[in-house]
Structure 1
Amino acid sequence: MGELDAAGELVMGGLLGRAVEPHAGEHQGHGHGTICLNCGTALVGPHCHECGQSGHVHRSLGAIGHELLHGVAHFEGKMWRTLPLLAWRPGDLTRRYIAGERARFVSPMAMFLFSIFTMFAIFQVLGISTPTDLDSNSARPTVALQHSITKAEATRAKKSAKLAKLEASDPDRADLAADIAEADREIAGYKSALTQIPKVMREGGDEIKEVHTGWHALDHGVEKWQKNPSLMLYKLQSSIYKFSWLLIPLSIPFLWLLFFWKRQYKLYDHAVFVTYSIAAMSMLFIGVTLLAAMRVSSDILIWFALLVPPIHMCRQLKQAYGLRWRSAIFRTGLLLWFISIIATLFLLILALLGIMG
Structure 2
Amino acid sequence: MSHGKIREEKNCLNCGHQVEERYCPHCGQENIETRQPFYYLFTHFIEDFTHYDGQFWGTLKNLMFKPGALTRTYLEGKRQKFVPPVKLYIFVSFITFFVFALFPLVTINFNNNKNNGDPDKANISKKIRALDTKKITDSIKTKTILTQEDSATIETLNVLPDAAKIDDLEDAFEMDEKIDKDVLYRGYKTRRAYDSAAAKNPSAFDFIQTPLAHKFFELKEKGVTKAEIVKSLSETSFHNLPKALFIYLPLFAFFLWIFHNKKRWWYFDHGIFTLHYFSFLLLNILFVFLIAKLASLTDIGILNSILYLLLCVLLIYIIAYFFIAHRRVYHTHGIVSFIIGGILFTLNFFTFMILVVGLALISFLMIH
**Above 0.5 in TM-score?**
yes
Counterparts of residues 20-169 of structure 1 (less than 5 Å): 32=7, 33-43=9-19, 46-61=22-37, 62-71=39-48, 73-74=50-51, 77-129=54-106, 151=114
After superposing the two structures, state which structure 1 stretch, 274-283 or 37-46, moved more: 37-46
Q: How many Å apart are 1:221 and its aligned residue? A: 6.2
Residues 49 and 56 of structure 2 are in contact (CA less than 8 Å); yes or no, is this contact kept in structure 1?
A: no
Q: Distance in 2 between matches of 1:63 and 1:104?
A: 25
Counterparts of residues 158-197 of structure 1 (less than 5 Å): 180-181=123-124, 183-185=126-128, 189=161, 191-193=163-165
TM-score calculated relative to the size of structure 2: 0.65
| Unmatched runs of 5 consecutive residues or more in structure 1 | 1-25, 135-146, 160-175
Map of 1:318 onto structure 2: 327
Map of 2:142 onto structure 1: none
Residues 28 and 54 of structure 1 are in contact (CA less than 8 Å); yes or no, is this contact kept in structure 2?
A: no
1:17-71 per-position Cα deviation (integer Å, ceiling 9, x unaligned): xxxxxxxxx7788975332101223336543344331223452114223213324
Structure 1 residues 88 and 217 mapped into 2: Cα distance closer, same or farther (>3 Å)?
closer
Q: How many Å apart are 1:232 and its aligned residue? A: 3.8
Map of 1:303 onto structure 2: 312
Residues 36 and 55 of structure 1 are in contact (CA less than 8 Å); yes or no, is this contact kept in structure 2?
A: yes
Map of 1:247 onto structure 2: 248
Residues 115 and 282 of structure 1 are in contact (CA less than 8 Å); yes or no, is this contact kept in structure 2?
A: yes
Q: Distance in 2 between matches of 1:290 and 1:49?
A: 45
Instruction: Kindly provide the amino acid, as one letter, of the partner of residue 252 in structure 2.
Output: S
| Structure whose residues are more often helix by fraction | 1
Q: Distance in 1 between matches of 2:168 and 2:289?
A: 41
**3-state SS, counterpart of residue 36 of structure 1:** coil
Residues 130 and 237 of structure 1 are in contact (CA less than 8 Å); yes or no, is this contact kept in structure 2?
A: no
Q: Distance in 2 between matches of 1:222 and 1:96?
A: 52
**3-state SS, counterpart of residue 103 of structure 1:** coil
Residues 239 and 350 of structure 1 are in contact (CA less than 8 Å); yes or no, is this contact kept in structure 2?
A: yes
Residues 27 and 76 of structure 1 are in contact (CA less than 8 Å); yes or no, is this contact kept in structure 2?
A: no
Q: Distance in 2 between matches of 1:69 and 1:332?
A: 37
Q: How many Å apart are 1:307 and its aligned residue? A: 1.1
Map of 2:280 onto structure 1: 280
1:56-110 per-position Cα deviation (integer Å, ceiling 9, x unaligned): 3452114223213324644753211111111122312101112222221112222
Q: Distance in 1 between matches of 2:262 and 2:3?
A: 41
Map of 1:162 onto structure 2: none
Residues 75 and 106 of structure 1 are in contact (CA less than 8 Å); yes or no, is this contact kept in structure 2?
A: no
Instruction: Kindly provide the amino acid, as one letter, of the partner of residue 341 in structure 1.
Output: F
Residues 50 and 57 of structure 2 are in contact (CA less than 8 Å); yes or no, is this contact kept in structure 1?
A: no
Q: Distance in 2 between matches of 1:60 and 1:269?
A: 41
Residues 2 and 47 of structure 2 are in contact (CA less than 8 Å); yes or no, is this contact kept in structure 1?
A: no
Instruction: Kindly provide the amino acid, as one letter, of the partner of residue 350 in structure 2.
Output: I
Aligned residues: 294
Q: Distance in 2 between matches of 1:59 and 1:47?
A: 17
Structure 1 residues 102 and 190 mapped into 2: Cα distance closer, same or farther (>3 Å)?
farther
Structure 1 residues 293 and 231 mapped into 2: Cα distance closer, same or farther (>3 Å)?
closer
Instruction: Kindly provide the amino acid, as one letter, of the partner of residue 40 in structure 1.
Output: G
Q: Distance in 2 between matches of 1:202 and 1:65?
A: 54
Map of 1:256 onto structure 2: 257
Structure 1 residues 235 and 53 mapped into 2: Cα distance closer, same or farther (>3 Å)?
same
Residues 250 and 342 of structure 1 are in contact (CA less than 8 Å); yes or no, is this contact kept in structure 2?
A: no
Q: How many Å apart are 1:354 and its aligned residue? A: 4.4
| Unmatched runs of 5 consecutive residues or more in structure 2 | 132-160, 170-179, 200-205, 296-303
Q: Distance in 1 between matches of 2:2 and 2:50?
A: 16
Q: Distance in 2 between matches of 1:288 and 1:308?
A: 12
After superposing the two structures, state which structure 1 stretch, 277-286 or 26-35, moved more: 26-35
Instruction: Kindly provide the amino acid, as one letter, of the partner of residue 44 in structure 2.
Output: E
Q: Distance in 1 between matches of 2:190 and 2:13?
A: 66
Structure 1 residues 270 and 218 mapped into 2: Cα distance closer, same or farther (>3 Å)?
same
Structure 1 residues 94 and 30 mapped into 2: Cα distance closer, same or farther (>3 Å)?
farther
Map of 2:155 onto structure 1: none
Instruction: Kindly provide the amino acid, as one letter, of the partner of residue 223 in structure 1.
Output: H
Residues 221 and 354 of structure 1 are in contact (CA less than 8 Å); yes or no, is this contact kept in structure 2?
A: no
Higher gyration radius (CA): 2
Q: How many Å apart are 1:126 and its aligned residue? A: 3.9
Give the percent of matched residue pairs that are identical in Structure 1 and Structure 2: 19
